[in-house]
Structure 1
């Protein structure tokens, strides 16, 4: 099993972005590495269906990148065996979330049992979220969506070419 990026590059990334929690006192490299592993798994789990190209190492490859025959959202080729900077940055952002709150990117939930409101007055009143999907219970890191927007294919909806005869 692998993870995206390196501890040194993650430290530099978070220092530049002012994310002090990454280098906070008492946080160990073991904790940071574990966060990178969890973040990399969550990143691939959430976005790999939209990655362009195909895995360079086939099914035996642990992570979704590097890939071959890949192009970015603009149609520019991504060098074979390259892990794009967008993937590394997204992994570092997700690793920060995992470091601060381990397991937060892939929580264990029971659909229909997630509390949306709890009130205590004369009696306890609890309201649960309706059915929904497990993926709807995951946090959304909009910064990751923003970082990956230039890499992942844009969803343009269905299109049909018409031919007039």
Structure 2
């Protein structure tokens, strides 16, 4: 089973088509690109996996969240075959991999919950932090960076986090 979504050559074409020069920059090796794809795929599953429709086709033994059984594309109003990894997942992985290539670890940063900066003054250094009582989410997921290109790629296949279980199609 694959360690990442997509194919290295397809990722290279994807980024070339979009003018993302950092993917093919001088000195960047295929090993670095592959490592970025592996990190991106893991982060994609970690951040969005609970919103993927259906269930892992291979059960708990399956390393990545896709392929899935009972998944569907809401925009096309079509089932996604049990053996398919949707192009949306691959494209999201390619987008996140670019961020990972440029700054390794950026898609899964280390955070300290409860230390969200509300205001920071530079001269005579002053910092103020948000608190849970002010409505700031202190969960680690709320502190993850959001890459809008990933959100855009996934919008048709994600189940809204607030959706009730009876709205999920199985």
TM-score of the two chains, using structure 1 as the length reference? 0.85
Q: How does 1:96-135 map to 2 (within 5 A)?
A: 96-121=98-123, 123-131=124-132, 132-135=138-141
- For 2:149, the equivalent position in structure 1 comes to 143
Q: CA deviation at 1:106?
A: 0.8
Q: Structure 1 CA distance, aligned partners of 2:161 and 2:110?
A: 29
Alpha-carbon RMSD across the aligned residues, in angstroms, is: 2.1
**Segment of structure 1 superposing worse, 110-119 or 54-63:** 110-119
1:126 aligned counterpart, secondary structure: strand
**Segment of structure 1 superposing worse, 109-118 or 77-86:** 109-118
Q: CA deviation at 1:128?
A: 3.1
- For 1:94, the equivalent position in structure 2 comes to 96
Unaligned runs of 5+ in 2: 133-137
Give per-residue Cα distances to partners, 1:115-138, cap 9 Å, x unaligned: 4544343x3222334352222221
Q: CA deviation at 1:104?
A: 0.8
Give per-residue Cα distances to partners, 1:72-123, cap 9 Å, x unaligned: 11430111211000000000000011111111111111123344544343x3
- For 2:27, the equivalent position in structure 1 comes to 26
Q: Structure 2 CA distance, aligned partners of 1:155 and 1:137?
A: 16
- For 1:71, the equivalent position in structure 2 comes to 72
Contact 1:72 1:153 (8 Å CA) reproduced:
no
Structure index of larger Rg: 1
Q: CA deviation at 1:156?
A: 7.7
- For 2:135, the equivalent position in structure 1 comes to none
Q: Structure 2 CA distance, aligned partners of 1:155 and 1:109?
A: 22
- For 2:45, the equivalent position in structure 1 comes to 44
Q: CA deviation at 1:49?
A: 1.2
Q: Structure 2 CA distance, aligned partners of 1:7 and 1:102?
A: 17
Q: CA deviation at 1:144?
A: 0.9
TM-score of the two chains, using structure 2 as the length reference? 0.83
